[in-house]
Amino acid sequence: MAHRASNGRKMFVTVLYIVTVCSGVPISDLLDRASQHSDKLHSLSTTLTHELDSHFPAIGRMVMPRPSVCHTSSLQTPSDKEQALQVPDADLLSLARSLLQAWVDPLGILSSSAYTLPHLAQSKLLNKIQELQEQSKSLGDGLNVLSGKMDQAAQTIYSLPYRGGNDIGQDKLAKLNKFHFLLSCFRRDSHKIDSFLKVLRCRAAKLQPHLC
């Protein structure tokens, strides 16, 4: 699965580079590809969260940190579509790229810790976390290409360092708790990224705001 995901990532980035240098291809096509990729990323993170829920103790949900504690919460982002529609294209792309960059290390921690997770579907979770890494890296590479087609503001990457440590704890509940929390945070951010790219795609296609 990881090999197929890697091939898919390479193909996605290669196509973006080829399309970018072709002057006759509109940026709307590039954004359409990126939006499709972000949709897959969010869908995968949602599936993973639901699968983990099936073996997550009820008490764990009670003690899990609130979303406001996510390491990316300090980044000021639009709270809904109406707000996103007011943000310039380059700034929206900058926010999406910043969120993706902020998850490089945490996704690595999830991947390296998944094999120790006390979960009946441990190997399945590990494979999907690795696929999540590949999908995220692929989308990030594609957005780097797209940023070169926009205003300088699109090049801005906000620093959102993860300071949660390199492991997910020792005892069973602590492992499940931190793993679930990180995955929930990523699911939330992947939804933001997908929403921002869909707004950009909508604008590039010159659709009316109510259709976005």
pLDDT of amino acid 118: 72
Tally of CB atoms within 10 A around 160: 17
Tokens of 133: 């890494």
- Coil vs helix vs strand at 163: coil
Strand runs (DSSP E) across 93-164, as ranges?
Answer: none
pLDDT value at residue 138:
92
What domains does the chain contain, in order, with CATH numbers?
2-16+27-211 (1.20.1250.10)
* Predicted local distance difference test score (pLDDT) of residue 195: 94
Site of tokens 């602590």:
174
Question: Residues of the chain with pLDDT > 70: what percent?
Answer: 79
Q: What is the pLDDT of residues 38-56, one digit of tens each?
A: 999 999 999 988 888 776 6
- Rounded CA separation 207/110 (Å): 39
pTM of the model: 0.83
Report pLDDT for 25.
53
Residue 57 has pLDDT above 80, yes or no: no
